[in-house]
Amino acid sequence: MSDTLDFEALRQHAVQTLFEHLAESCVGAVAVDRNARVAWMDPKYRTLLGIQGEVLGKPVEEVIPNSLMRRVVETGQPILIDIMEVGERALVVSRLPLKAPDGETIGAVGFALYDRAESLRPLVSKYQRLQEELTRTQQELAHERRAKYSFSQFLGVSESVREIKRLARRAAQMDSTVLLLGETGTGKELLAQAIHAASPRASRPFVGINVAAIPETLLEAEFFGVAPGAFTGADRRMREGKFQLANGGTLFLDEIGDMPLTLQAKLLRVLQEREIEPLGSNKVIHVDVRIIAATSRDLASLVRDRQFRADLYYRLNVVPITLPPLRERSEDIEGIADAILDRLALQQGSPPRELTDGAIAALRAYGWPGNVRELYNVLERLAALTDEPVVTAGHIAAVLPPGEGGEAEDLAGANGVRPLSEVLHRTERAAITAALAEAGGVKAKAAKLLGISRASLYERMTTLGMAPGG
């Protein structure tokens, strides 16, 4: 019992001491009753405010015009830090409710901590700086998650490209799932970003994930996030998954055909129910995400082989768009190559390069198994190896593997290796074709480019079945 009395006495002493310290250190103090009438005001406050005469019993607003003490009495809630204008002064004030033992608010006490708001300037400045840094970081992060490409950057003049853009623009105005099909390097992610950028979700995040690039054991965490302490070594804070990061925007699932069957069922549920459960959590989180999926694999064939769930395939295959390989739209190669060379020149600070007719013909003659991505790689290699402002067929031949499928495919036959005579004939035919294109069909000029006589050129063309003609 004595300990209890000692604790209560200590508490009361602490309260009294705190009040005395605040009263001594501040520039003024006032107390009001349950009706917000002035019950006490210290002499410092009277002097600071220039008050003459009796103030006890008067409504606090008559004594201190901008006072909020009545609000504290009525709500029972403190106003810990505030700036109150009194004439030309800006006072930093703190207001606290006074409570009876039963919790009823019976009054309030206010302290004028500083007679100049400038006293808080260092603290306010630090807070503002931190707030500005936070805002800037959030803006930068949001910018990183915006789409970087638009339809104007999906280059091409072919009928197939025009049809792709028509379908994609229609898909952008819908909220249905889009499935992009095509070989690797055909521009599926670029088109996905263009669809997002033209959609009503354009101001929200665009988040991409390559299913094939993430180990199977980590995929679920990447998709749905991890609850604090879900497993040993897990972060103590909530780790958001890609669905949460993309909330309100678009989630791009690249190489969806490589998704494990176990995760396919969970993805299907998210698409149907629009909700996720982070790993290690029983909490269901609603998500609003538009899905754009892409694959270079034959999903229908995977469904037949039971490597891909049929119900998920139907859920994804709402708006299918097939991107043709570059070899099937050779009329687009010149424009794409020019754009790539301009971009490389800008990056390297070098003059733009010009493609001759022969160089364009050489590019069109190649099969491009890696599509636009391989074209970029070849032209980047060319830009690194030569400073010539005019790119000829010879320059292209120097950086291009012989044969449409690359050197290894070109040399490989049914038995593993092609006959040497066949390899030489194919290489020779490609060189003559490029030289004729470069020379505009003038055989004397083509022969000079090849370093042989005109007669030898005719002879080689006849041997190769190339019909030298006139």
- For the entire predicted model, the pTM comes to 0.59
Encoding tokens for residue 113? 């901590």
What CATH number does residue 204 fall under? 3.40.50.300
| 362 lies in the same domain as 378 | yes
| 246 lies in the same domain as 226 | yes
User: 296, 324, 352 — which closes off a domain?
Assistant: 324
Domain that holds residue 247: 151-324
pLDDT of residue 413: 46
Beta bridge partners of 321: 180
Residue 13: how many CB atoms within 10 A of its CB?
Answer: 10
| 61 lies in the same domain as 13 | yes
Encoding tokens for residue 451? 């370093």
pLDDT of residue 406: 41
Averaged over successive runs of 10 residues, the pLDDT of the chain (470 residues) comes to 62 72 80 94 88 90 90 92 79 89 91 68 61 63 63 90 94 94 93 94 92 86 80 64 92 93 90 87 88 94 93 94 92 93 89 88 87 93 88 86 47 50 70 77 82 83 69
CA distances from 462 to 108, 212, 422, 429, 457 (A): 108, 49, 16, 11, 9
Q: What is the pLDDT of residues 45-81, one digit of tens each?
A: 888 888 888 989 999 999 998 899 999 999 999 998 8
Beta bridge partners of 19: none
With 0-12 / 13-18 / 19 or more C-beta atoms within 10 angstroms meaning exposed / middle / buried, residue 430 is buried
| 355 lies in the same domain as 430 | yes
| 130 located within any domain | no
| 333 lies in the same domain as 297 | no
E-assigned strand segments in 372-470? 390-391
CA distances from 212 to 215, 226, 258, 307, 369 (A): 8, 20, 6, 15, 20
CA distances from 436 to 363, 365, 408, 429, 466 (A): 14, 13, 26, 11, 11
DSSP 318-335: TEEEEPPPGGG-GGGHHH
User: 297, 324, 351 — which closes off a domain?
Assistant: 324
| 165 lies in the same domain as 304 | yes
Give CA torsion, residues 419, 424, 425, 430, to 10 deg. Answer: 130
pLDDT of residue 24: 74
Domain count, the chain: 3
pLDDT of residue 85: 81
Encoding tokens for residue 227? 């609850």
The span from the CA of 421 to the CA of 28, in Å, is 104
| 231 located within any domain | yes
pLDDT of residue 149: 76
Residue 253 neighbours by CB under 8 Å, 6+ apart: 209, 211, 259, 291, 292, 293, 294
Q: What percent of the chain has pLDDT over 70?
A: 82
| 319 lies in the same domain as 375 | no
pLDDT of residue 446: 82
The span from the CA of 308 to the CA of 286, in Å, is 26
With 0-12 / 13-18 / 19 or more C-beta atoms within 10 angstroms meaning exposed / middle / buried, residue 185 is buried
Closest by CA to 438, choosing from 448, 428, 425, is: 448
pLDDT of residue 463: 79
| 124 located within any domain | no
| 168 lies in the same domain as 306 | yes
The span from the CA of 430 to the CA of 420, in Å, is 16
| 277 lies in the same domain as 417 | no
User: 261, 289, 324 — which closes off a domain?
Assistant: 324
